[in-house]
Amino acid sequence: MKITQDEVVERQTTLHIELDDEDIDPYLQRAYSRVVQRVNIPGFRKGKAPRSIIEQYYGRESLLNEILDSMLPELTGKAITEEEIEAVGMPSIDLEGLDPFKFSAVVPMKPDIDLGEYKDIRVERESPSLPDDAIDERIEQLRLSVASWEPVDRSVQTGDMVSTQIKGILDDVVVLDENDAVYLVNEDIGRPFPGFSDKLVGLESDSDASFDLDIPEDFPDENLAGKNISFEVNIKDIKERVLPDLDDEFAQSIGEGYESLDDLREEIDKSIINEAETEASRAYRENVIQALLESATVDLPPLLIEHESSHMIEEQERMVTQANMVLDDYLASMGKTRTELEEESREEAIGRLTRSFVLSALADQENIDISDNDINDRIDELFSNSDDEKPDASQTAEMMDYMRRSMRMEQTMERLEDIAEGYPDGKPDEDEQKNSSEDAVEDTSVEEPEKQ
């Protein structure tokens, strides 16, 4: 196999690969083994025709085409190994000819990363934010969740739930026709159309009403956007939400363990504090990562960015398809073009890749390594209080690989946070901190001056 390599430009290089007959022969044999099982050659039982007959009957190029999908990536991998290229991501392969057999492969290489003066990073940790009325708001949400709906004999008010018959007409064409449709009268809910709920306020039960509604220009359905629809409405039923009294009985209805309203408030207080601390920790970690990214410089190969961006678009298209939509239609409903999606995906891909490579480089720089014993201890810990059985040997290798990556990243983040808090050489343990504090007290003591 003859390999020539182009100059490295933007952290990617092109390999030009040419094969001789000796290189090709194993792949022809592999292709022959496939083809001979499914073709009928006169005078031979299926699967028994010799390779020379198959090549004559089927054609050498056809045999090669049979195996190209696996042959080219395999040969590219061998070439990358021979040239000692530190590759990342999938190469882009271009077949140039079968006789002689030539192809080229653009290979994205590991980015050049400079972490900068990362040990000088300092980020102040902010205290969790706890709104004064947080407990009352949470209790009100619970009251709303267990409220009942009771019929009322009055006109529709905001917050009511109504059962109604609706017909919407645009240019003599019925665009909406619903019987016994149930709507929550809330201006924040744009169903079936923005502004529709406001038109229901003040209507009486068992009486016909009509009104016009201007549909916003940015409404997802372009056939209705910016149009004026005439509605005929008959309110069949009006119900209002009835909140439970704020007492011990309400607290008990929320769940076991709450004997009184005070018990509920205490538990909510703990929950809110825990949520605030978790969010503060998440925000601090994100701020620290952003500080590291600002300190670092990364030279990403364009092909790697392209592949990551394409993968993101494919994933979004898959999700849209699962929702029984076409991507272009979905984008139109969002007021976005495919070109804009591609630009956004490219920027996000750059962000993702930069973040991943920089954090990995930091782990390397700080010599963060996870041993098999560390992983086994963590697995034992995970299953110590679980009824599930520990994974068998066939699953352990995959689990250990995942655990190694996860634990390494967690230790990397802890190390970065130590640096950001002013401990570039590592945060001291509790005993060291205690001794340091005692030494500081002794150093700052002042002897009383002698009397003259």
CATH code for the domain defined by 148-242: 3.10.50.40
- Tokens 């150093």 belong to 443
**Residue 374 and residue 407 in contact, taking contact as beta carbons nearer than 8 Å:** yes
- Do you find a cis peptide bond into 194, omega within 30 degrees of 0? no
* pLDDT value, residue 393: 55
The three state secondary structure string of the chain is CEEEECCCECCEEEEEEEECHHHHHHHHHHHHHHHCCCCCCCCCCCCCCCHHHHHHHHCHHHHHHHHHHHHHHHHHHHHHHHCCCCECCCCEEEEEEECCEEEEEEEEECCEEECCCHHHCCCCCCCCCCCCCHHHHHHHHHHHHCCEEEECCCCCCCCCEEEEEEEEEECCEEEEEEEEEEEECCCCCCCCCCCHHHHHCCCCECCEEEEEEECCCCCCCCCCCCCEEEEEEEEEEEEEEECCCCCHHHHHHHCCCCCCHHHHHHHHHHHHHHHHHHHHHHHHHHHHHHHHHHHCEEECCHHHHHHHHHHHHHHHHHHHHHCCCCHHHHHHHCCCCHHHHHHHHHHHHHHHHHHHHHHHHHHHHCCCCCCHHHHHHHHHHHHHCCCCCCCCHHHHHHHHHHHHHHHHHHHHHHHHHHHHCCCCCCCCCHHHHHHHHHHHHHHCCCCCCCCC
Q: For the chain, which residues make up each domain, given as ranges?
A: 2-110, 118-146+254-299, 148-242, 300-365, 372-447
* pLDDT value, residue 405: 94
* pLDDT value, residue 220: 79
Q: Parallel, antiparallel, or unpaired for β 173-184 and 161-170? A: antiparallel
φ and ψ of 206, to 5 deg? 60, 35
* pLDDT value, residue 91: 97
Burial 87-117 (b: 16+ CB within 10 A, else e): bbbebbbeeeeeeebebbbbbbbbbebebee
What is the signed CA dihedral for 245, 202, 172, 174, rounded to 10 degrees?
10
* pLDDT value, residue 75: 97
pLDDT along the chain (452 residues), means of 10: 95 97 94 90 89 90 93 97 95 95 97 96 90 91 92 93 93 90 84 89 91 89 90 94 93 88 94 94 97 97 96 95 89 87 96 97 96 87 76 70 93 96 82 55 44 36
**Residue 196 and residue 213 in contact, taking contact as beta carbons nearer than 8 Å:** yes
Looking at domain 2-110, which CATH architecture does it have? 2-Layer Sandwich (3.30)
* pLDDT value, residue 392: 64
* pLDDT value, residue 218: 83
